[in-house]
């Protein structure tokens, strides 16, 4: 059991304490993040890009997710471990239960993350019924990149924004314990954070969210192409990678990150 629990994350939202999250996919970085006391370590399917060199998360398999979760989770004494359910791994409640079980039993994850809105409500409900902590992923859903035609800001149109809020509330009612929103305008992120009782974690969603997440390689400035909402915390850092992570944590906690230039209107 990690020191950071779901109960603690919910209390942090109530107290207005910002939640910090970064991705990690191996033991060395997981240990470093845990030692810096990051609240949540996300074993994201972004590993398809930053570990495997693909141009999307689509090729990532359940075996990949279990393999990387297994490397990360033993190092996490402090941080809660959240692992992604990859492309097409939860198309029915039976499949979602089977794959969430793998991430938790074999991978050691404390919580699982699933992309999708209304269409995932039944899967979320069944996982919640079986005691699986779950984070929903709304806004830009990278597993749908080919359907979307690229990585774009989501929810600028009023009807899409309203539908996102409706879906988020539906997923919360179904039992989601946290909601991650990716690439949404600040006003919508604000509405979602206010409307939901569960913590809302943003990436490219402005500073009003209850917490922030970044891909580790983006914030270390070593990914092929970092998105505009990210920041290189390593360049110019005298304390190296640990210092970059500590600065990220501090800037999220104080609200210095993200800046206005790193947000979408
Ligand atoms: O896979 C991942 O790293 C993610 C983040 C982009 C939030 O889902």
SS3 of 147-185: the string is HHCCCCCCCCCHHHHHHHHHHHHHHHHHCCCEEEEECCC
For the stretch 127-176, pLDDT in tens is 999 999 999 999 999 999 999 999 999 999 999 999 999 999 999 999 99
108 lines ligand 1 (CB under 6 A): no
How do beta strands 134-139 and 111-115 pair? parallel
Cβ within 8 Å of residue 36, ≥6 positions away:
242, 245, 246, 249
Q: What's the confidence (pLDDT) of residue 80?
A: 98
Instruction: Give the predicted TM-score (pTM) of the model.
Output: 0.98
Residue 215 alpha carbon to ligand 1 centre in Å: 7
Residue 43 alpha carbon to ligand 1 centre in Å: 8
Report domain extents, the chain. 6-262
**Active-site residue among 115, 118, 122, 182?**
182
Q: What's the confidence (pLDDT) of residue 147?
A: 95
Return mean pLDDT, the chain: 97
Q: Ligand 1 pocket check: which of 41, 115, 139, 215 to mutate, most ligand atoms within 8 Å of Cβ? A: 215
Residue 93 alpha carbon to ligand 1 centre in Å: 22
182 is catalytic: yes
Give the pair of three-digit tokens for residue 87. 């492309």
6-262 is a CATH 3.20.20.60 domain: yes
Residue recorded with tokens 């470093």: 32
Q: What's the confidence (pLDDT) of residue 1?
A: 82
Residue 71: in which H helix or E strand, if any? helix 62-72
For the stretch 69-106, pLDDT in tens is 999 999 999 999 999 999 999 999 999 999 999 999 99
């Amino acid at each position: 059991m990690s020191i950071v629990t779901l109960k603690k994350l919910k209390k942090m939202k109530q107290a207005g304490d910002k939640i910090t999250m970064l991705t990690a996919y191996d033991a060395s970085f997981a240990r470093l993040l845990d030692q810096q006391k990051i609240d949540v370590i996300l074993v994201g399917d972004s590993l398809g890009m930053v570990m495997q060199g693909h141009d999307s998360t689509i090729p990532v398999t359940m075996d990949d997710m279990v393999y990387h979760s297994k490397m990360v989770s033993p190092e996490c004494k402090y941080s809660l471990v959240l692992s992604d359910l990859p492309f097409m791994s939860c198309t029915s409640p039976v499949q979602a239960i089977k794959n969430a079980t793998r991430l938790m039993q074999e991978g050691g994850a404390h919580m699982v993350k699933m992309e999708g809105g209304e269409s995932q409500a039944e899967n979320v409900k069944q996982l919640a019924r079986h005691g699986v902590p779950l984070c929903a992923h709304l806004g830009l859903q990278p597993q749908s990149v080919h359907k979307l035609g690229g990585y774009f800001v989501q929810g600028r149109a009023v009807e899409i924004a309203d539908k996102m809020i409706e879906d988020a509330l539906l997923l919360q009612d179904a039992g989601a314990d946290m909601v991650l929103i990716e690439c949404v305008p600040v006003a919508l992120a604000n509405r979602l954070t206010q409307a939901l009782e569960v913590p809302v974690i943003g990436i490219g969603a402005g500073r009003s969210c209850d917490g922030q997440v970044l891909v580790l390689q983006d914030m270390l400035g070593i990914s092929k192409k970092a998105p505009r909402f990210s920041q290189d915390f390593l360049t110019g850092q005298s304390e190296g990678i640990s210092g970059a992570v500590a600065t990220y944590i501090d800037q999220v906690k104080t609200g210095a990150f993200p800046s206005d230039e790193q947000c979408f209107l």
